[in-house]
Structure 1
Amino acid sequence: MLRRIILGLGANAFSQVITIVIQIFSLPLFLLYWDAATYGSWLVLSALPAYVGMADVGMVGAAGNKMTMAVGRSDVAEANRIYQTAQLFMTVMCCSLAAIIIPAALFLPLPDSMTTDKRIALAALMCAVLFALYGGLQEAVFKATGRYAAGTMLGQTVRLAEWGGYMAGLMLFRTLAGVAICGLVARAAGTAAGVYLSQQGDHKFRLGFQHASKAELLSMIRPAVSLMAFPLASGLSFQGVTLLVAALAGTTAVAVFNTYRTIARLAVQVTGMFSHAVQPEFSRLFGEAGMKGVRSLYRHSTRLGAVQSIVLSLVLYFMSPFLLRIWTHGRIEFIPSMMMWLLVYAAVGGVWHVPRILLLATNQHIGLAGWFLLSGILSVALGWLFGIIWQVNGICAAMLVSEMFIAAICTYIAHRLFAEANS
């Protein structure tokens, strides 16, 4: 288990490297072949399919957790039944959406600015998202069969290949449609490779629908839909707070605030890399022995996650003047009070990351979902109230209060489940 966790950490670190590479090289490469207006059009078009990415309504995550728990109690037949049920759901969902969104993107009346080139690009980008959704189900097979690191590496390699396809299309065709189609071809090929590789090995997960079950589908609806509350709450906490800073303090303050928040959340990201590596082990142990089975791993990983978050936040506070000077070329100055608020907020966020992952991994997050959504609303509401009085520092303080609120709720739910297991 320790070996799998370490490999998972390495895979998650690889994911971060891929993200950094894409972020660093995308802008200069696009602007090498396009003007700023064309690149702006690409950014708008590539942002629209994000809504299609929520079309699985959390089914892939819920099914992956349930598959891993079934493998943990050696019920391979149930695990395969869950897998084939999710396959059927995703196949119907993806094909139905493709039949709707492709004609809509190509032929639906849209503003005159939507040229044929842009329409084709939009259709291709949406199809790529659908392939990514289906590929996520194959990554769930890797996780359920003790190959989380391999599945994560494969998924990130496919993401890198898709970006490489975009760059190849940019160099070869220099049109929006050419870029999007080349990326789609790379994503489709990567998804096909993922399907093939997920079937290798002596496990019993098999492609097909013959063992799909209506009862299994119904049992996954509540945890699947509940998962959707988390990205919604995150959107409120991130985009909502950003808009709030802009409304109360102006766009210059937004640039400063977002830069500070990015640095502060490095501590949360490191803790997240660790907790996501532990997630499949939580699912497997829970399937094998319930909450009693995960107690020891939970205790150790919670302590380690908390130490990581707190220590990294302290280190970042003292390193942030240097980081700001290098990263922003001295254009954004170090403001100790704002950095302190955001780093304490980040430390609290890292402390409760492992308890949250435990609830997600065992599909016991239903009770947390509503509270998480409430915390997102609370961060915006308190941010407005505190921001009127203390400006950006007040918004930072509101973020900390809402984070402490949801951290306490999540930790309480996790400990209550352990108490119920002992009674």
Structure 2
Amino acid sequence: MIGRSLDRATTLRLGRTLSAQAYGQIVTILVQIALVPLLLHAWGTRLYGAWLLLSAVPFYLTFSDLGFTNVAKNAMVMAVAAGRRDVATRVFHSVFALLCAASPLLMVASAALILAVDLRQWLALDAKAAVSAPAVLLLLILQVLLYQFFLLVCAGIRSGNRPATEAAWAATARLMEGAAIAIAAWAGGGLVAAAAAMVVARLIALFAAYRSLRRLADWLRLGWRQADGAALASLWRPALAHMLLPLGQALLIHLPVVIIGGIMGALATVTFATTRTLARLGMAATNMISNSVASEYAALAGQGDQHCAARLLRLQVGATLMLIAAYGLAILVAAPFVLPLLTHDSVGAVYPFLPLLVAAVAAEMLWSALLTPIAAVNRHGGVTAAFLIVALATMAAAGAVTEAWGLTGIAAALLAAHAAMIPITIIAGHRRAR
């Protein structure tokens, strides 16, 4: 079907990208599953718990580039596809200069904050973990800042419409970091050794990916000679708009747990969280599809080929709808058996909460897919702003509906939020096409 609708080169490229995305999912699951028993055995519960706490803190610095690397890759793909390598280089150098200026400032500010607060009390650490906590946090923050440079190099790799290579490097870097942590722990190292191993692994991945970039695009190299304030000015609106998406997602993912815990208690919280985890499994598959076609939309926009972009959208939406149907049926059939198995009979399927929650995730899968061609050309500002407003309104009403209808009420609120995003995204897509 795809082969009849798209040219052979595009079909092969999409196949390679899907394979690379699948490789990334396998690596993510492997690292997450394998590290838990390994680190528990090597460190014990207390030290592993301290590692989880400390490694969660620098997560918020993953947004330290303010979304510029994400929108830069779209701009670079469009520029190269349009034959404007000079524009792609200006974007690349401009974001690199921004990172070079911001990273030392963030590192110094982080160090000052870490030394000023009582980490033992703030994070409820025991005496052994508290001694090494400042060094661990500084190393983890350094690793996060190096990750921003890695993302920029990956943007350079993608600029020639090579999303498969980019995805493969991203997954390989995650695998290297996971292996580095495991080796450090099994060699008898503590938290500092594991954090230092992560930094070394990220540095190796960064230099290796950059060598790959230089082989693939010898015209593109790191530097700031062609850095341009106008290039950054053209990116800041879509960059900040990009930041609104994870903010809205965080509201809809984390706040319901807090609201349910405060109103209904621990059992309802566990029921909601476990059921939602199972229901959201389908998001990984639709994200794989969306991530695989995003670069194609950017390249087609650069070439001005709206007809091929429309065909690709029809294929993407068709595949997504089939996946949603299969996913919804599978979850509704399996949940009554899987939930008690996962929770040792502590949690069972609750109706109509379960089908409403599955419908909410299905709506999220659909509008997220429809957002892909819009975000791929950095025209997503209106949609992400609307999403944040919808998320805020939903959470403002969540307490009342939970008080009135319990888990069914919160699931209905989430369904309403994601269903409302479908026509908003469709309208934005039509405007982008025009």
Q: Is the 8 A contact 1:59 1:220 kept in 2?
A: yes
1:110 equivalent in alignment to 2:124: no
1:171-182 equivalences under 5 Å are: 171-182=186-197
1:221 to 225, 228, 236: 236
Match of 2:36 in 1: 27
5+ residue gaps, structure 2, are: 1-9
Shift of 1:329: 4.1
- Scaled by the length of structure 1, the TM-score of the pair is 0.94
Find the aligned partners of 1:212 and 1:310 in 2 and give their Cα distance.
Answer: 47
Match of 2:146 in 1: 131
Find the aligned partners of 1:96 and 1:198 in 2 and give their Cα distance.
Answer: 27
- Kindly provide the CA deviation profile for residues 162-217 of structure 1, in whole angstroms up to 9, marking residues without a partner as x: 12111222122442212211122112211121122122124522222111111111
Shift of 1:26: 2.2
| Range 30-39 or range 131-140, more displaced | 30-39
Change (3 A) 1:328 1:6: farther
Find the aligned partners of 1:341 and 1:109 in 2 and give their Cα distance.
Answer: 44
Amino acid at match of 1:37: R
Amino acid at match of 1:275: S
Shift of 1:109: 4.5
Q: Secondary structure at the match of 1:200?
A: helix
Match of 1:57 in 2: 66
Find the aligned partners of 1:17 and 1:379 in 2 and give their Cα distance.
Answer: 34
- Scaled by the length of structure 2, the TM-score of the pair is 0.91
Match of 1:295 in 2: 310
Amino acid at match of 1:59: F
1:391-406 equivalences under 5 Å are: 391-406=406-421
2:102 to 71, 76, 93: 93
Find the aligned partners of 2:363 and 2:117 in 1 and give their Cα distance.
Answer: 48
Find the aligned partners of 1:203 and 1:288 in 2 and give their Cα distance.
Answer: 22
Find the aligned partners of 2:257 and 2:83 in 1 and give their Cα distance.
Answer: 47
Q: How many residues align?
A: 418
Match of 1:75 in 2: 84
Shift of 1:326: 4.0
1:207 to 218, 222, 229: 222
5+ residue gaps, structure 1, are: none
Shift of 1:221: 0.8
1:386 equivalent in alignment to 2:401: yes
Q: Is the 8 A contact 1:275 1:305 kept in 2?
A: no
1:344 to 355, 359, 366: 359
1:280-359 equivalences under 5 Å are: 280-289=295-304, 291=306, 294-359=309-374
Find the aligned partners of 1:328 and 1:250 in 2 and give their Cα distance.
Answer: 17
Q: Is the 8 A contact 1:291 1:417 kept in 2?
A: no
Amino acid at match of 2:106: L
- Aligned-residue CA RMSD (Å): 1.8
Q: Is the 8 A contact 1:34 1:174 kept in 2?
A: no
Q: Is the 8 A contact 2:81 2:160 kept in 1?
A: no
Q: Is the 8 A contact 2:136 2:195 kept in 1?
A: yes
Q: Is the 8 A contact 2:300 2:309 kept in 1?
A: yes
Match of 2:169 in 1: 154
Find the aligned partners of 1:60 and 1:199 in 2 and give their Cα distance.
Answer: 18
2:184 to 160, 165, 169: 169
Q: Secondary structure at the match of 1:199?
A: helix
Q: Is the 8 A contact 1:169 1:183 kept in 2?
A: no
Q: Secondary structure at the match of 1:413?
A: helix
Amino acid at match of 1:351: L
Find the aligned partners of 2:417 and 2:120 in 1 and give their Cα distance.
Answer: 44
1:10 to 8, 19, 24: 19
- Kindly provide the CA deviation profile for residues 8-55 of structure 1, in whole angstroms up to 9, marking residues without a partner as x: 212222222122112222221122122322222111111110111110
Find the aligned partners of 2:52 and 2:103 in 1 and give their Cα distance.
Answer: 24
Match of 2:136 in 1: 121
Shift of 1:399: 0.3
1:240 to 255, 270, 273: 255
